[in-house]
Chains A and B, each alone.
Chain A
Amino acid sequence: GQQVMQIPQYQHVQEGEDFTTYCNSSTTLSNIQWYKQRPGGHPVFLIQLVKSGEVKKQKRLTFQFGEAKKNSSLHITATQTTDVGTYFCRVYNQGGKLIFGQGTELSVKP
């Protein structure tokens, strides 16, 4: 079945540094969603990407969907302590099943 790999699993940065997490699929995706889960909290929707090569921005966050629609990235510029949490990608596989990535846990040292 379709696998979704998220890398890295953990990222520790100094406040002000940039951060990127990647979500890679073995098959073409119809769309991809990104969620953020704060420690002890629940996943919260961030963005959805649908079109090949799509780029969306939310303040310091930049989301990209690959040209082949098999991978995506989330980039945070100049991290802040409020960015702490785990970032998940969510996709539907070709069989119509919902899959969340393993997540990238971001910690930010002030």
Chain B
Amino acid sequence: EAGVAQSPRYKIIEKRQSVAFWCNPISGHATLYWYQQILGQGPKLLIQFQNNGVVDDSQLPKDRFSAERLKGVDSTLKIQPAKLEDSAVYLCASSLEWQVQETQYFGPGTRLLVL
């Protein structure tokens, strides 16, 4: 079974530029999560989708971050414009359903460096 795929793996941009990350969850997984992990910290949930609907985006900086999962499968996270403090690893995860006991499967992440 293929795991969660993410691209690109690495990205270096200058502040005020835009960047987009892509995630393809495990086939059949209804729930998709985007996390931001700053060095030395635990993953912070940015947005959670159940199929193509948003379950939780309370920690998403909506003035610059956006995410979509139009067909309920793959998803895109965008930052526009980027700030220095956005430098982090962006992790995508998926789970079979949206239940508190569901295991999350993480992708390899996209390492973003904003200069």
Contact = CB atoms under 8 A, between A and B. Distances in A.
B108 interface: yes
A88 B106 CA distance: 13
A91 to B, nearest CB: 9
A98 B107 contact: no
Interface in A69-110: 88, 90, 92, 96-103
Interface in B79-110: 91, 93, 100-101, 103-109
Given A42-B91, A42-B108, A97-B56, A33 B103 contact: yes
Contacts of B93: 43
Nearest to A10: B40
B10 to A, nearest CB: 12
A88 B43 contact: yes
B33 interface: yes
A78 B61 CA distance: 43
A39 to B, nearest CB: 11
Given A43-B106, A98-B33, A103 B100 contact: no
A30 B100 contact: yes
Interface residues of A, number: 22
Contacts of B41: 102-103
Given A98-B33, A98-B48, A43 B100 contact: no
A68 interface: no
A42 B106 contact: yes
Contacts of B35: 100
Nearest to B56: A97
Interface string A20-50: 0000000000110100000001111100101
Interface of B: 33, 35, 41-45, 48, 56, 58, 91, 93, 100-101, 103-109
Given A42-B107, A88-B43, A90-B104, 8 more contacts: A41-B108, A42-B106, A42-B109, A43-B93, A45-B105, A48-B103, A101-B42, A103-B42
The 10 closest A-B pairs by CB, nearest first: A100-B42, A42-B106, A92-B100, A45-B103, A98-B45, A100-B43, A43-B106, A103-B42, A102-B42, A88-B42
